[in-house]
Structure 1
């Protein structure tokens, strides 16, 4: 399990996305499966410019009692890098979606 603080979220299609207030270290991303078209060298080169979002495809609603800097525990299934992603009519650049298999709130 990995731990991080989340400071924003949005629901899109059949998933909920949580923004990490601080990026994960590079090691957990490289230890878990990258998108098939992404090479390890590319992931390393982009790490300094990307923002990290947890993608939970098992839920459509935010945690009850959510607030900024909420700490969550999660397992990583895979990750996908996007040059551009839309969120609440905003255009986000250099986004890494970290697909989670489990996510739990920490008290």
Structure 2
């Protein structure tokens, strides 16, 4: 029984140690080399601002740790934490937290 509990605790520690807490995404993120800023709120909404204007979106954390953004055009965009930045899947675009 002790081995089972210990194994369970080790698995839990590994799982939580490999992913960032949801609260890590709250705040303002800026794209490197582009005029693009995204603000993530703790109510799972956000706003992106670019040369094309402002766009609202909703977001959620997937079970694999990726952040799924759903924009008004119903296009899904996925982000992954890469150290202290967010990398957009399928793109060279990286976001860095500015506040």
Shorter chain as denominator, the TM-score bin is under 0.3
TM-score (norm 2): 0.27
Of structures 1 and 2, the one scoring higher in RCO (CA 8 A, sep 6+) is 1
Q: Please identify which structure carries the higher strand content.
A: 1
TM-score (norm 1): 0.25
